[in-house]
Amino acid sequence: MAHRLCSLSLLIILALASTLDSIHALKYVGINKAGSTNGGIRFNNDITFEYSFRTLITSTNFIRRLFQQNSASDTKAVPKITLIIEDIDGVAFAVNGEIHVSARYIGGYTGDLKREISGVLFHENTHIWQWNGKGQTPGWLIEGIADFVRLKSGYVPGHWVKPGQGSKWDKGYDVTARFLDYCNDLRNGFVAELNKKMRNCYSENFFVELLGKNIEQLWSDYKAKYGNIN
């Protein structure tokens, strides 16, 4: 069975061109490799590529503002983002300008599906645009920053830890996102500055340079603020 290919390039380019703070005219391509599965059918009926592309436009502009990327030289050169729905385990992943979303996850999700997929796209699109220290940045921080973006977007799932919860800063995802939010409150724009520093390399000392304390002390202060809850 042929994959369903949906390219709304013209629509998306026009939408981006009309957005005042857009830098790149991006091409968005969608491929549903699981069109005959329950999740693939549900994606076509309840989410659609058009909705997904509009969410990616919104998230791209949101990410650039949050990262304080005000010129083309501040951002990655990404000419195209391909959204692929496929029959895989897990939720989603992003690699080389592609966002892969699990049709199995879509098919089995019982909550507000559009809200959930919007949050997933904000997270995965962050991976498209964030700097990773040319491969040196640890995975916990990469995922923590992506969930920080999702946190600031408002698409927070109910199962996330609450502020102050978590055993260590390097647990990644929601635990690290909450910690980064605390750090960002200490210095407005901290995450943006941290991302900029990671353009070419990574050092844990970036936390000291930006906040005056090492990451262990910052975590200790964070936990103390919320009564050292588990």
- Residue by residue, pLDDT tens for the chain (230 residues) are 445 555 443 344 334 433 433 445 789 999 999 999 999 999 999 999 999 999 999 999 999 999 999 888 999 999 999 999 999 999 999 999 999 999 999 999 999 999 999 999 999 999 999 999 999 999 999 999 999 999 999 999 999 999 999 999 999 999 999 999 999 999 999 999 999 999 999 999 999 999 999 999 999 999 999 999 99
Cα–Cα distance for residue pair 145/90, rounded to 1 Å: 19
pLDDT value for 88: 98
Distance CA 174, CA 52 (A): 23
- Decide: 92 and 99 in contact? Cβ < 8 Å: yes
Residue 31 forms beta bridges with which residues? 5, 84
Distance CA 143, CA 193 (A): 17
Q: Which two tokens stand for residue 148?
A: 């920080």
| pLDDT at position 5 | 56
Q: Cβ distance 48 to 34 under 8 Å?
A: no
Give me the residue spans of the domains in the chain: 1-129, 134-229
Q: How many whole angstroms from its chain centre is CA 214?
A: 25
The one-letter amino acid code at 110 reads: T
pLDDT for 16 equals 45
CA distance 64 to 82: 19
Nearest residue to 69 (alpha-carbon basis) of 187, 191, 202: 191
pLDDT at 7: 43
CATH topology of domain 1-129: Neutral Protease; domain 2 (1.10.390)
How confident is the model at residue 151, as a pLDDT? Answer: 98
Residue whose C-alpha is closest to residue 131's, from 151, 148, 150, 146: 146
Residues 143, 124: Cα–Cα separation, whole Å: 9
Q: What is the pLDDT of residue 25?
A: 75
